[in-house]
Amino acid sequence: MTDLITPNRRQLLTLAAGAAATPFAPAILRAQEASGRCVVSTWGGDYAKLLTQNIEEPLLKPKGLEIVQDAGTEPTRVAKSIAQRRLPRGSVDVICLQAPTAHDLEESGLLEPLDESKVPNLKYVQKTFANPYSIPHIYSPQVIAYSPERVKTPPKNFTEMEAYGEKVGILDTSYIWVAMAAALKGQGDPSKFAEAKANLEKLVKAGAKVYTSTEAFAPGIKSGEIDVGLVWHARVLFWKKGGVEMASSFPEEGCMTYVSSMCVLKNAPNKAAAFAYLNAALDPRAQRGFAESMSYHPTITNAALEGEIAKSLALPEPAPKLIPAPYPELSAARDELNDWWRRLLERR
């Protein structure tokens, strides 16, 4: 009995250390909590594979986190999250979304607010892409892709690209980004969708090719079906790697910028693990990994690139203005725009 209540030197030291650490308890607790299973809702394919290679295996597994990927198309995963919104504990911790969709979920009240106390690496995020509900994982500017073989003077802006008429390629899934690029050039504001409709109508009437899959763009350029089109710079670099003669021209009015985001759902079963995941995604090693394998730009300021990848991802001088989509305006106009676009295509 006396042994139990008489503290020895070691016990006293432990107690003192414990008392000294009390003010830091939340941080220690959080670090300890980031364990167990983390379910990541993501696109399948290369993106999912690279999450495993660059974030999960090297950065989270050593910390004892078990990562489960729930792969699927974005609308399906969004539908699932909305369907589970009333459950106190959902089945997903982290959800990977395009930035406009992340904004939609935030408006629906589904996302957990983020700050540096939860995701310390947020302090390195480039200000253009920062927001309080998601982390920008990777980005890529929208460029005018062209065939250097047939296009001797690369188009410098949307108007010059538009002049290619039937030789312009449009990705069906990204038509809205073409509309924003047109609005940016014509109105100086990418949210002036109504004014940009005329540009797209002109292009479609001129016989511009509309591709239902992103992959169909490269064969279009290769076969000479199209000469130019607006796509992500990362895609151009990817196709070039695959042997397609293609080059990027950065529009002088600025580049609409694709951002892939990661968010934590309010009813995530393991929030500590989810924050740890987001923090790891903003780790310079993970960001460089994505740049090297997928040619997407890092979204943080402390992931300087080197060598060949730095050269291929380098933006021209003077650096083009990178413009994320006007998310609230896009969200409000999207349904009407989708309907208008379908009808425009049908009218031929």
Q: Which residues bind other proteins (CB under 8 A)?
A: 73, 75-76, 78-79, 82-83, 104, 107-108, 172, 209-212, 219-220, 222-225, 331, 334-335, 338, 342-343, 345-346, 348
Closest separation between CB of residue 237 and other proteins, Å? 23
Q: What single-letter amino acid sits at 228? A: V
Tell the burial category of 62 from Cβ atoms under 10 Å away from its Cβ (0-12, 13-18, 19+).
exposed
Closest separation between CB of residue 316 and other proteins, Å? 31
Task: Report helix, strand or coil for 121.
Answer: helix
Q: 149: Cβ–Cβ under 8 A, 6 or more apart, which residues?
A: 245
Q: Bin 243: left if φ > 0, else alpha if -120 < ψ < 50, else beta.
A: left
Closest separation between CB of residue 224 and other proteins, Å? 7
Closest separation between CB of residue 348 and other proteins, Å? 6
Sign of the dihedral through C-alpha 62, 66, 68, 74: negative
Q: 166: Cβ–Cβ under 8 A, 6 or more apart, which residues?
A: 206, 207, 208, 209
Closest separation between CB of residue 210 and other proteins, Å? 4
Residue indicated by tokens 């974030």: 55
Radius of gyration of the chain (CA): 24
Pull the structure tokens for residue 228: 């130019």
Beta bridge partners of 170: 210
Closest separation between CB of residue 215 and other proteins, Å? 11
> Is residue 272 within 8 Å of 33, Cβ to Cβ?
yes
Nearer residue to other proteins within complex by CB, 193 or 211: 211
Nearer residue to other proteins within complex by CB, 150 or 334: 334
